[in-house]
Amino acid sequence: MNPGPAGALPGLPGLLGITILTESADLVDAALTVGPQHLAATGYLHAGCVVALADTAWRLRLPGCPPRGRPDSRPCSSPRTT
């Protein structure tokens, strides 16, 4: 997988062009600049892009997930529901 430009998020968020503007212990400010590649056949923003943006910001603030770039940073997994 091509990691993309420096600072780009890995995986789907990086492919969509999601960027993290601000990140702290209790806030993540993420952005997605919408282009033609983000539109559904109807011409409207594809709902999957909205979900990916929300999911990306949410996962960065899961309890136990340190901010990216810290020495103790590690991949975080979604909480399990039963």
pLDDT reported for residue 2: 40
Domain span at residue 41? Answer: 11-60
- How many CA atoms within 13 Å lie on the side-chain side of 53? 18
36 lies in a domain? yes
**Three-point CA angle 62, 50, 81, nearest 5°:** 40
80 lies in a domain? no
39 lies in a domain? yes
- Cβ burial of 47 (10 Å; 0-12, 13-18, 19+) is exposed
19 lies in a domain? yes
Q: Which tens digits make up the pLDDT trace of 15-71?
A: 999 998 888 777 888 999 999 999 999 999 999 999 999 998 888 777 666 555 555
CA atoms 60, 66, 71, 75: torsion sign: negative
pLDDT reported for residue 75: 58
The number of distinct structural domains making up the chain is: 1
